[in-house]
Amino acid sequence: MDAGELDLLNRYWNAANYLTVAQIYLQDNALLRVPLAAGHIKPRLLGHWGTSPGLSMIYVNLNRLIRMTGAQVLFMTGPGHGGPAVVANLYLEGTYSEIYPEVGRDLPGLQRLVRQFSTPGGIPSHVGPATPGSIHEGGELGYSLAHATGAAMDNPDLIVACVVGDGEAETGPLEGAWKAPSFLNPDRDGAVLPILHLNGHKISGPTILGRRSDSQVMALLRAHGWEPVMVTGDDPALVHTSLARALADSHTRIIQIQERARSHGNTGPAPWPAIVMRTPKGWSGPAFVDGVPIEGTFRAHQVPLGSVRENPAHLAQLESWLRSYKPETLFDEDGRLVPELAALAPPGALAHGRQSLGQRRFVGPAAAAAAGRLCPQGGCSGFHQTRNHQAVG
């Protein structure tokens, strides 16, 4: 990635972060066209900042992978409480406005986008059924990797990029779902690319994997059949660069595994790539509030500045936080994302918000028979049995 592309990618990330913070806090003055005042702040603040910058870092780099390779990628968000980040990215890529035309790509639309979030009559704070491209409810942690695996089965061209929170990784269902490589058949299933997000914290304390060394975390994943790479840092430029490389390498590896299995038959569970991303919770947000550390701690989890309406110092801190993303360089006079950033969204049907299972090609028994992939064992005519025999038996 050259310096120019890196700068664009980082500005796009800034736009996603800006819209995330704006959704959590603002009911008016969405692009800070006038100085921020208490009346612009929502009366009740509810949303999750901490996970959001990491989700957006992954999202924008997946956009790049999709643009470069034409890969079909479904984005699965384990930390679905990061709803404002996912909605921000859907809005930036244009798919949100296609599905919700009243939230248009202009100043009134952007104003509505921020106002509706976590507001009565608006949208929930978590990823849910109404979130374009999402097939995974964000309320109960633990099921993302199992859902990602299910989504990949019988979808040979699909890559499900699944962000797993390090707190989520402490749940029983997620702990079990690491066994997915034993069940994914590279011949006929798509791929799951787990991205374990070690931001070090859950709601109110540190996480177990966040306190483990890189080699311990990698050993855990390797034992389950993944081949992980680490992406670590708090310098956005360095993380963009190493995440982009990790995603490109993972994609190459997935294609290699699939091509080998599809030309030579299934040779057993493959060491699928996985990414472990160690970045700060609440990255790019306030480092301290009232002298207390926020960025990189569990205190960044939800709303880092809690009394903005009542406390002028918090209001000023929120304004400088929002302005740190330089919204005037990201959106034009009419409130539209500037063209050089809009060009970074994946084209056509490949954008995340247009991915849904309804568009997928399922391989049912008829298609499997036509492709010569029916189970060689007697008495087995369905594709579920076929997979069981191939992958497990």
Ligand X SMILES: Cc1ncc(C[n+]2csc(CCOP(=O)(O)OP(=O)(O)O)c2C)c(N)n1
Contact residues toward Mg ion (CB under 5 A) are 165-167, 199
Residue of the chain from 11, 40, 64, 81 that contacts ligand X (CB under 6 A): 81
**Do the Cβ atoms of 47 and 233 come closer than 8 Å?**
no
**Residue type for 274, please?**
A
Residue of the chain from 202, 278, 309, 354 that contacts ligand X (CB under 6 A): 202
Contact call for residue 124 and ligand X (CB under 6 A): no
H-helix or E-strand spanning residue 22 = helix 3-25
Q: At what angle do helices 3-25 and 236-264 cross, to 10 degrees?
A: 100
How far apart CA 242 and CA 233 sit, in angstroms, is: 9
Residue of the chain from 5, 102, 140, 234 that contacts ligand X (CB under 6 A): 140
**Residue type for 4, please?**
G
| Phi, psi dihedrals of residue 3, rounded to the nearest 5° | -60, -35
Residue 38 CB coordination number (10 Å): 11
- Minimum CB separation of residue 263 from ligand X in Å reads 39
Per-residue x/- marks for ligand X, 49-78, CB under 6 A? -xx---------------------------
How far apart CA 389 and CA 393 sit, in angstroms, is: 5
Residues 146 to 175: which contact ligand X by CB under 6 A?
Answer: 165-168, 171
Per-residue x/- marks for ligand X, 271-310, CB under 6 A? ----------x-------------------x---------
Of the two residues 66 and 141, which places its CB atom closer to ligand X in the complex? 141
Of the two residues 103 and 192, which places its CB atom closer to ligand X in the complex? 192
Pairing of strands 272-278, 191-197: parallel
Of the two residues 85 and 270, which places its CB atom closer to ligand X in the complex? 85
How far apart CA 253 and CA 78 sit, in angstroms, is: 23
Of the two residues 47 and 133, which places its CB atom closer to ligand X in the complex? 47
Of the two residues 11 and 201, which places its CB atom closer to Mg ion in the complex? 201
- Minimum CB separation of residue 387 from ligand X in Å reads 28
**Do the Cβ atoms of 97 and 103 come closer than 8 Å?**
yes
The structure tokens listed for 91 are: 């809005």
Closest alpha carbon to 55 in 73, 71, 74, 79: 79
Of the two residues 166 and 187, which places its CB atom closer to ligand X in the complex? 166
Instruction: Give the range of 63-71, 138-146, 305-313, 321-329 binding ligand X by CB under 6 A.
Output: 138-146
Residues 227 to 256: which contact ligand X by CB under 6 A?
Answer: none
Closest alpha carbon to 143 in 192, 113, 176: 176
Question: If contact means CB under 5 to 8 A according to the sort of partner, which of ligand X, Mg ion, none does residue 203 touch?
Answer: ligand X
Per-residue x/- marks for ligand X, 83-122, CB under 6 A? ----------------------------------------
Residue of the chain from 115, 188, 197, 251 that contacts ligand X (CB under 6 A): 197
Residue of the chain from 83, 109, 133, 142 that contacts ligand X (CB under 6 A): 142
**Do the Cβ atoms of 313 and 46 come closer than 8 Å?**
no
Instruction: Give the range of 193-201, 237-245, 315-323, 354-362 binding ligand X by CB under 6 A.
Output: 193-201
> Mapping DSSP to helix (H, G, I), strand (E, B) and coil, where does residue 46 land?
coil
- Minimum CB separation of residue 199 from Mg ion in Å reads 4
H-helix or E-strand spanning residue 162 = strand 158-165
How far apart CA 197 and CA 359 sit, in angstroms, is: 28
Question: If contact means CB under 5 to 8 A according to the sort of partner, which of Mg ion, ligand X, none does residue 140 touch?
Answer: ligand X
How far apart CA 83 and CA 74 sit, in angstroms, is: 16
Phi-psi region of 136 (alpha: psi -120 to 50; beta: other; left: phi over 0): beta
* Residues near ligand X, by CB under 6 A: 50-51, 79, 81, 139-142, 165-168, 171, 197, 199, 201-203, 207, 281, 301
